[in-house]
């Protein structure tokens, strides 16, 4: 789980407890940023797998390509890892037309560079020999230990909370759910990461198009004060402490 995703989860809990509604624009910006973080993590993992099998060209290209994604986040909010992007009730930074256009250009380059590198690797017999039938987690074992996310998909479990529990934007923008499952080896996990990168790029571009075509506004008046936020966090902490004593 990435830093941005963790913050998003915590804030969602806070907002539900406080009954805070998030503006449409803030929802889209958050959702796009989540997919960008997913991309950055997947690209980094492709590079890590490349390094593990001593395919240094793949590690270098993925490292440079991941930097393009996180540097876009840096332009959005001043942090490559999304620090400070979110706030209770919305986001701290707006996305104007110029930022969106530059991000779209970057995403197109990322797609091209990753596609070329992955296709090159998967045509290499040495690479395939080190990915196939390595680190296999069977479907039965995946269910037994409760795997979720990408690891579950790679073992044959078709589970994705973005589509299994869709929000209004997944429905409105008609995000396409593709069945991404594998046979449980490193090769499956490698390929699904690549497919999810392409999936995220399509989703982000649809969200950017929606942001550009509609006149959304950030409803800053609905933000919770820092003091209210602190009090709520302390309340949740005390409740958790109380529950721990009973367990």
- DSSP assignment string, the chain: --HHHHHHHHHHHHHHHHTPPPPHHHHHHHHHHHHHHHHHHHHHHHHHHHHHTT-HHHHHHHHHHHHHHHHHHHHHHS-TT-TTSEETTEES----HHHHHHHHHHHHHHHHHHHHHHHHHHT-HHHHHHHTTSS---HHHHHHHT--HHHHHHTT----HHHHS--HHHHHTTPPP------SSHHHHHHHHHHHHHHHHHHHHHHHHHHHHS-----GGGPPPHHHHHHHHHHHHHHHHHHHHH-
What's this model's pTM, rounded to 2 decimal places? 0.84
Instruction: Show pLDDT as tens, one digit a residue, over the chain (247 residues).
Output: 455 666 788 888 889 888 988 899 999 999 999 999 999 999 999 999 999 999 999 999 999 999 999 999 999 988 898 888 888 888 989 999 999 999 999 999 999 999 999 999 999 999 999 999 999 999 999 999 999 989 999 999 988 888 888 889 988 998 988 777 789 999 999 999 999 999 999 999 999 999 998 766 655 444 444 445 555 555 555 555 665 555 4
Note the pLDDT of residue 39: 96
């Amino acid at each position: 789980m990435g830093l941005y995703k963790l913050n998003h989860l915590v804030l969602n809990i806070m907002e539900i407890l406080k009954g805070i509604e998030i503006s449409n624009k803030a929802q889209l910006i958050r959702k796009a940023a989540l997919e960008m973080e997913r991309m950055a993590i997947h690209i980094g993992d492709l590079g890590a797998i490349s390094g593990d099998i001593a395919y240094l060209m793949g590690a270098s290209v993925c490292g440079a390509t991941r930097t393009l994604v996180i540097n876009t986040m840096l332009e959005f909010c001043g942090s490559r890892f999304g620090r400070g992007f979110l706030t209770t009730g919305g986001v701290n930074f707006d996305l104007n037309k110029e930022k969106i256009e530059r991000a779209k250009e970057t995403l197109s380059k990322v797609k091209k560079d990753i596609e070329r590198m992955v296709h090159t690797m998967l045509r290499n017999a040495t690479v395939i020999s080190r990915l196939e039938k390595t680190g296999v987690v069977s479907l039965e074992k995946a269910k037994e230990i409760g795997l979720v996310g990408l690891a579950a998909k790679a073992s044959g479990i078709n589970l994705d909370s973005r589509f299994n529990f869709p929000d209004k934007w997944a429905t409105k923008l008609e995000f396409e759910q593709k069945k991404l499952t594998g046979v449980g080896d490193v090769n499956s996990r490698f390929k699904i990461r690549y497919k999810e990168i392409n999936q995220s790029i399509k989703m982000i571009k649809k969200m950017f198009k929606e942001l550009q075509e509609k006149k959304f506004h950030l409803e800053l008046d609905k933000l919770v004060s820092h003091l209210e936020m602190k009090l709520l966090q302390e309340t949740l902490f005390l409740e958790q402490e109380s529950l721990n004593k009973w367990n």
